[in-house]
Amino acid sequence: MQNSLVAGRRAAVRTAIMQVVVTLVLALLFWLLGPREAIAAVVGGAAAALGSALMALRAVGGGVVGSGAALMRLLGGMALKWLVVLAALYWALAVARLPPGPLLVGLGAALVVPILNLKKQL
């Protein structure tokens, strides 16, 4: 059975792990430019990974429900994900004053991982 909750949870864990791996690789590369750049890449990637993990917990964490409730869980999880990402971006740019380039590269790379993971499953 391909669409079970177990398969969804497994895909969510695999995606989160891959997002962390991509983020750490980028941080190591940005470390060559300096520690602030590496930290910015980590913050961007971590925001995407945390947001995706929270979205997955919200979407597949409550067991089997009807289609309307499942859709509301998914939409609520997506809203939670983007709230986390926007809060992290605000903190990184306005409060910590991290460089925006590495921050956005880390965020973008981590946000591409679920798309590539989905393509791999098809």
Q: Tell me the pLDDT tens digit for each residue of 35-58.
A: 999 999 999 999 999 999 999 999
Give yes or no for a contact between 40 and 102, defined as CB atoms under 8 angstroms apart: yes
CB neighbour list of residue 73: distance below 8 Å, 6 or more residues apart: 58, 59, 60, 62, 65
- Would you give per-residue pLDDT tens digits along the chain (122 residues)? 456 778 878 888 899 999 999 999 999 999 999 999 999 999 999 999 999 999 999 988 877 888 899 899 999 999 999 999 999 999 999 999 999 999 999 999 999 999 988 777 66
C-alpha distances out from residue 122 to 25, 49, 106, Å: 26, 22, 26
Q: How far apart are CA 13 and CA 117, in angstroms?
A: 11
Judge whether 92 lies within some domain: yes
- Asked if residue 33 belongs to a domain, the reply is yes
**Residue written as token pair 């994900």:** 81
Structure tokens at 118: 């989905």
Q: Is residue 122 part of a domain?
A: no
Please indicate, yes or no, if residue 91 is contained in any of the structural domains. Answer: yes
How many structural domains comprise the chain?
1
Question: What pLDDT, on a 0 to 100 scale, did the predictor assign at position 81?
Answer: 96
Residue tagged 């941080």 (tokens): 27
Domain-embedded: residue 83? yes
CA distances from 10 to 2, 19, 25, 74, 89 (A): 11, 14, 23, 17, 28
Q: Which domain holds residue 18?
A: 5-117
| Within a domain: 58 | yes
